[in-house]
């Protein structure tokens, strides 16, 4: 497992005066690892759209279904970009329920996430888990990190999961292509991504995030489909999150109850 500093906060500025997307998410979801700037941003965006928490819960449930589907396809390696502050069940817990020896690398650039990394690194005895402190805007740093290559065998298929993170990347296409390039044939890309096509409040939401120093970019369905250029979209394609392979018997939320598309594609 990757080494994690015993006291990372002592060496790194937490920048508590600035909101961070992972900490805003943490607060909205009822967590305690956030600061005044994060809570102020959360209050503002929730005032604009009280349904944001419902959408975030749907996003987490969608991630669980995606991971379950991918392990069912035989995938036992995951690279999760934009991990966020841990909230059980985490991705590795879902994956290792089906594939006990699953290997997972978590990636995030928030120091608060780093302080939780030791808890994040607890999985099954058979599996391998590592945490890489890196910025997704510099994929070369992630791809060159020894911890990635220590845990993930890039000669074998990998699931690249980018859950509710590409809205913070202006060149999402370039990032996705850079991360997919070294992955073996048979690998998968799984994403959830905000859009203005579903809940119109998303436009105000994106503006408020951007005004508070967290630039947010919304994508249309066609723009999301372009992210899968060269990949084989897995059925049902690009759909509102609750409609991505819902659990049997589950009644999906209305499309307007969430503001994100979900999709999975296979690298041929």
Which pLDDT value is given to residue 12?
Answer: 54
For the segment 78-97, the average pLDDT, to the nearest whole number, is 92
> What is the C-alpha to C-alpha distance for residues 23 and 45, in angstroms, rounded to an integer?
14
- The whole domain housing 141 covers 61-198+215-266
**Is residue 7 one of the residues assigned to a domain?**
no
Write down the pLDDT at residue 8.
42
Residue-wise pLDDT for 27-38, tens only, equals 888 888 889 999
**Confidence check: pLDDT of 23 > 70:** yes
Question: Which residues have C-beta within 8 Å of that of residue 40, sequence separation ≥ 6?
Answer: 19, 212
Q: Identify the pLDDT of residue 236.
A: 98
The string of DSSP codes covering 100-138 is TT-EEEEEE--HHHHHTHHHHT---SS-EEEEEE--TT-
Q: Cα separation of 212 and 141, whole Å?
A: 27
**Is residue 58's pLDDT more than 80?**
yes
Q: Mean pLDDT, the chain, as a whole number?
A: 90
Is 5 part of any domain? no
Is 36 inside a domain boundary? no
Report the phi/psi class of residue 80: left, alpha or beta, with left for phi > 0 and alpha for psi in -120 to 50: beta
CA separation for the pair 76, 72 (Å, rounded)? 9
pTM, two decimal places: 0.89
Q: Where does 160-242 have alpha helices with state H?
A: 172-180, 201-211, 221-226
13-17, 79-83, 158-162: range with lowest mean pLDDT? 13-17
Is pLDDT at 57 greater than 70 in this prediction? yes
Of the candidates 103, 86, 98, 83, the one whose C-alpha atom is nearest the C-alpha of residue 149 is 103
Q: What is the pLDDT of residues 229-267, one digit of tens each?
A: 999 999 999 999 999 999 998 887 999 999 999 999 999
In a domain, 237, yes or no: yes
How many structural domains does the chain have? 1
91 part of a folded domain: yes
Q: What percent of the chain has pLDDT over 90?
A: 66
Residue given tokens 């959408």 in the structure block: 55
175 falls within a domain: yes
Task: Report the distance separating Cα 167 and Cα 216, nearest Å.
Answer: 5
The verdict on residue 188 lying in a domain is yes
Q: In this predicted model, what pLDDT tens digit does every residue of 149-202 receive, in sequence order?
A: 999 999 999 999 999 999 999 999 999 999 999 999 999 999 999 999 999 889
Q: Which CATH number fits the domain that encloses residue 178?
A: 3.40.50.150
Query: 114-142: per-residue pLDDT in tens?
Result: 877 777 778 899 999 999 999 888 999 99
Q: Is residue 23 part of a domain?
A: no
Angle at 264 between CA 260 and CA 266, to 5 degrees: 155
Lowest mean pLDDT among 5-19, 110-124, 149-163, 203-217: 5-19
Angle at 8 between CA 86 and CA 153, to 5 degrees: 60
């Amino acid at each position: 497992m990757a080494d994690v500093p015993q006291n990372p906060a002592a060496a790194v500025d937490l920048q508590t005066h600035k909101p961070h997307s992972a900490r805003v998410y943490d607060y909205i979801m009822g967590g305690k690892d956030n600061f005044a700037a994060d809570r102020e941003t959360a209050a503002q965006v929730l005032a604009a759209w009280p349904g944001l928490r419902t959408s975030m819960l749907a996003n987490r449930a969608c991630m669980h279904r995606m991971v379950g589907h991918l392990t069912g396809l035989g995938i036992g390696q995951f690279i999760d970009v934009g991990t966020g502050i841990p909230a059980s069940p985490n991705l590795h817990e879902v994956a290792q329920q089906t594939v006990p020896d699953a290997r997972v690398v978590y990636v995030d650039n928030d120091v608060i996430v780093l302080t939780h990394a030791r808890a994040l690194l607890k999985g099954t005895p058979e599996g391998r888990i590592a945490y890489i402190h890196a910025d997704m805007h510099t994929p070369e740093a992630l791809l060159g990190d020894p911890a990635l290559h220590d845990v993930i065998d890039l000669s074998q298929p990998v699931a690249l999961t980018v859950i509710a993170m590409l809205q913070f990347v202006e060149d999402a296409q370039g990032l996705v292509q850079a991360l997919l390039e070294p992955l073996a044939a048979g690998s998968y890309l799984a994403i959830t991504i905000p859009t203005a096509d579903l809940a119109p409040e998303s436009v105000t939401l994106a503006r408020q995030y951007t005004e508070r120093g967290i630039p947010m970019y919304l994508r249309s369905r066609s723009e999301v489909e372009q992210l899968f250029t060269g990949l084989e979209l897995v059925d049902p394609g690009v759909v509102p999150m609750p409609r991505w392979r819902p659990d049997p018997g589950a009644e999906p939320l209305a499309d307007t109850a969430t503001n994100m598309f979900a999709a999975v594609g296979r690298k041929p």
